[in-house]
Structure formats: structure tokens, C-alpha cells
Amino acid sequence: MVKPFVPQLVYIEPRALEYPLGVKLRDKFKDMGVEIRETTSHNQVRNLPGDNDFQKYRTAKSTLVVGVRKTLKFDTSKPSAEYAIPFATGCMGHCHYCYLQTTMGSKPYIRTYVNTEEIFDAAEQYMKERAPEETRFEASCTSDIVGIDHLTHTLKHAIEYFGRSEHGQLRFVTKFAHVDHLLDADHKGRTRFRFSINDDYVIKYFEPGTSRLKDRIEAAVKVAEAGYPLGFIVAPIYLHEGWQQGYPEMLEHLEAALPAHAKKNLTFELIQHRFTKPAKRVIQKNYPMSKLELDENKRKYKWGRYGIGKYVYQNEEQEEIKDVIGSTIYKMFPQSRIEYFT
């Protein structure tokens, strides 16, 4: 079982110490014996230990920066929510295909923001604008927030904050099984707790540093028993030899483990594997031994934002994915809802 994340190195921005959570985290890491360095801004996190980019990248992935979120304008987050709520960025996982490799560029370390009250206030404004419509906030657009939350409990506070709200809903997704501290949060059914799942082949070869399927399913059962609305994101759906068996098998494990009440209000989101040309270059640099197939010639080109197109599966392959995975879901979980396939 993958152990809960402990950073090797912590940077604390001085302004973070103006907030109670900043002080709490500094004391916590001190007690844990983690090396702490001060920095005036996260952009100054330079000279990470390591002889070359490859090693520095790995050090960064186990470095935590405790900072203050300056931009309180939220990005939109289609199709799963109206807004992305920024509590953290970066991730300690090493999924070869992860889009954070390109979006975080040369700063792949993890950041957690301690000005949570200001972030909640901003969320409040967004909710007011849309009321009485519900507003959904996605907390895992730029990180796997559950993976660090046993240290910060920011997500736990957010769950309770949205539990008290009139028109807000929270959602996030994780590949980590360290959920115990979230089980007694007073969520009032306003948080959808999702797990990202994949078949054994994909987890084994492309998702090092994350919890295994069995552990994610065990965690999902606990979450269901704690009364949270539950969901699964099957992503990235990756066509490898034997995928037509691998994905139904994954769903069988899920079906056997979940309590009956959880199957009534279950959502699935299906996302096929895709890559861009810049992402391919970064993946090949960070994970040179990866067997992830990134051959443009085998894919269909789809125009994207900012002129950066992505390579997705061919139309017939997409139809087959919907057929194999979609029909298994409907067969095994007839009361569930597939929210989208993209």
C-alpha cells in the first residue's frame, strides 16, 4: 500500500505565517523533522537538490510549498463543474500521462494555500451571482488534493463549508486511498467524492506513486458508508492489449465491493487518453522508459484551444470504448449515470 505523502522538503513563504494554517503547518513539519526553508515567493524555489533535470523533477514532486493564493479569480471547469476552486497545485504522483507535467512546466513542486478563508469568500461571491442556481466547484483541477489533505485538512474544511452553504456543491477526484480523516466531515450530501480508476495494466505501468485499484475501491466503500455521493472517473481510457477484458474486470471488482445504497446515486465520467505534441516531449523527458504509446499516426487529431490540438483515438475506437465500457456500466450499475465521455 502506498504510504500517505510526507514531503522531503518544505518551503514556507513569509506571508503564509500571517495565517493560522501557515503557522500550524510550520509547527507540524518541524515536529515531524522535515527540512524547512524560507522563501519570499514560490518562484524563488530554486536550487532544488539534484544533479540534473531528471533528479530535480523528482525532488520537486516531493517538495511542498506553503503559500498564499494571490489570484482569487477562479477558472471555469467544464464539463464537471462551473468553477475550479484553488486550494493546491501539483501532485506527488508519477502518472506518466499526467497533464500537470505540461501545465506546471518548470515548477512541478506541490503548493498548498493557507488563505482558505479568502478562497471561501471568493467562492461565496460566485455562488451569489448564480443563486438560486446551484454552483459546483471542482477542487482537483490542478492537483490531487486528497493526496495531501491528511497534512493540511483544507479539503475537510471545504467539505464542511459547502455543507453549510445554500447553493454550493463541491467535487474532487483522487487516486489516493488516504481518506480516513474525511469520513466524519459534515458534508450534508453537498460533496461528490470521486475516485479515478483504471484497469490493472494502466495502474501498473503508468501510475507509479498512487494507490492501487484495490485500495482505491476500499477507500470508496468507506466514503460510501460515510454517506457521500460517490463517483468514478475512468481516465485515461487507454487501449492496450487486453483492454476489452481489463476494464470490465475493473468494473466487476467495483460492483462486488460497493454497498447497495451507493450504487443508486453513482456517477461515471469517461475520458479517453489524449496527448498534445508539447505533452509528448515532456513525458519523454520525465519518463524516458515509459511504454505509453504516443504515436500521432495512430490517432485522430482534434483542434484545441490556443491552437494546440490533441491526439485522441480514432472514431471507431471511440465507439468501441463507449460500447465496451458504457454497456458494462449500464449492465452492472443500472441506476448509475454516465455524465460524459470525452
Cross-strand bridge partners of residue 272:
237
Q: How far is the CB of 150 from ligand SF4 (least distance, A)?
A: 15
The binder of ligand SF4 chosen from 22, 93, 168, 246 (CB under 6 A): 93
Distance CA 42, CA 88 (A): 13
Q: Which amino acid is at 251?
A: L
Q: Which is nearer to ligand SF4, 113 or 126 (CB)?
A: 113
Binding residues for ligand SF4, total number by CB under 6 A: 8
Q: Which is nearer to ligand SF4, 116 or 174 (CB)?
A: 174
Binding of residue 91 to ligand SF4 (CB under 6 A): yes
The binder of ligand SF4 chosen from 64, 68, 88, 98 (CB under 6 A): 98
Distance CA 243, CA 198 (A): 10
Q: How far is the CB of 201 from ligand SF4 (least distance, A)?
A: 16
DSSP strand pairing (168-174 vs 135-138): parallel
Measure Cα distances from 120 to 138, 164, 168, 224 in Å.
13, 12, 11, 26
Positions in 164-193 near ligand SF4 (CB under 6 A): 175
Yes or no: say if 232 and 194 are a contact pair by the CB < 8 Å rule. Answer: yes
Q: How far is the CB of 91 from ligand SF4 (least distance, A)?
A: 3
Q: Which is nearer to ligand SF4, 229 or 236 (CB)?
A: 236
Q: Which is nearer to ligand SF4, 147 or 246 (CB)?
A: 147
Q: Which is nearer to ligand SF4, 127 or 282 (CB)?
A: 282
Q: How far is the CB of 94 from ligand SF4 (least distance, A)?
A: 6
Positions in 190-229 near ligand SF4 (CB under 6 A): 210
DSSP strand pairing (83-84 vs 135-138): parallel
Based on DSSP, count helices (H) and strands (E) in the chain, helices before strands. 12, 14
Q: In 3-state terms, what secondary structure has residue 126?
A: helix
Q: What is the DSSP letter of 143?
A: B
The binder of ligand SF4 chosen from 16, 25, 100, 234 (CB under 6 A): 100
Q: Which is nearer to ligand SF4, 171 or 175 (CB)?
A: 175
The binder of ligand SF4 chosen from 82, 144, 149, 199 (CB under 6 A): 144
Per-position b or e across 257-285, b if 16+ CB within 10 A of its CB = ebeeebbebbbbbbebbbbeeebbebbee
Q: How far is the CB of 27 from ligand SF4 (least distance, A)?
A: 27
Binding of residue 279 to ligand SF4 (CB under 6 A): no
Binding of residue 108 to ligand SF4 (CB under 6 A): no
Measure Cα distances from 61 to 32, 184, 319 in Å.
19, 29, 36
| Interacting residues with ligand SF4 (CB under 6 A) | 91, 93, 95, 98, 100, 144, 175, 210
